[in-house]
Amino acid sequence: MATLAFDYTPGRPENIDQILNGLDRYNPETTTIFQDYVLSQCESQTYDCYANLALLKLYQFNPHLTRDETTTNILVKSLTVFPSPDFSLCLSLLPPYVLQDSKATGGASSGTLAEAVQYLDVLHNQLNNAQYTDFWSTLDSSDLYADLTADVHGFEDIMRLRIAMVVSQC
């Protein structure tokens, strides 16, 4: 039986594949191409972890190119493939100021990337701890959650399917 490469994603556009497999992967000029690809993933219910991690890595090297909305969309998309480690992998590429606990910093400013990450981390922890009722309650508890997940078409339906798959394997 042939195995697939770890970075294989069915339906990945050829131009994205060429960028990921060449030196352009580190070229800041490809940032907008990756950002458009994230938007495409949100609209088409596809997911490409490898490309998303490449964009977050570009953001590390070129913080002036960072788009908070794109970063948030990547994190939301990574939630849709739980129980994989993708969310944690994405977090590891974010700048430290985004990851600081709001209690330690006196509270994250409303509407910041740090606040969005903290809200999404709550959902991530609930999913990882099989607290599915809490997950749905939390998701419905604030308009901010609706705003964070709004760009990911079919987020709630995808999450229902993922939770059902995990529960059915118990």
Look up the pTM and report it: 0.91
Asked if residue 6 belongs to a domain, the reply is no
Instruction: Work out the mean pLDDT of the chain and round it to a whole number.
Output: 91
- The alpha helices in 23-154, defined as continuous H runs, are 31-44, 49-61, 68-79, 86-92, 96-99, 102-105, 113-128, 132-141, 143-149
Please tell me the total count of domains within the chain: 1
- Report the CATH number that the domain containing residue 25 is assigned in CATH: 1.25.40.250
Task: Pull the structure tokens for residue 42.
Answer: 């949100």
Asked if residue 1 belongs to a domain, the reply is no
Task: Give residue-wise pLDDT tens across range 32-43.
Answer: 999 999 999 999
Asked if residue 2 belongs to a domain, the reply is no
What three-state secondary structure class fits 67?
coil
| Enclosing domain of residue 150 | 14-168
Asked if residue 89 belongs to a domain, the reply is yes
Task: Give residue-wise pLDDT tens across range 62-102.
Answer: 999 999 999 999 999 999 999 999 999 999 999 999 988 65
- CB under 8 Å to 158, separation ≥6 — which residues? 45, 80, 152
Asked if residue 4 belongs to a domain, the reply is no
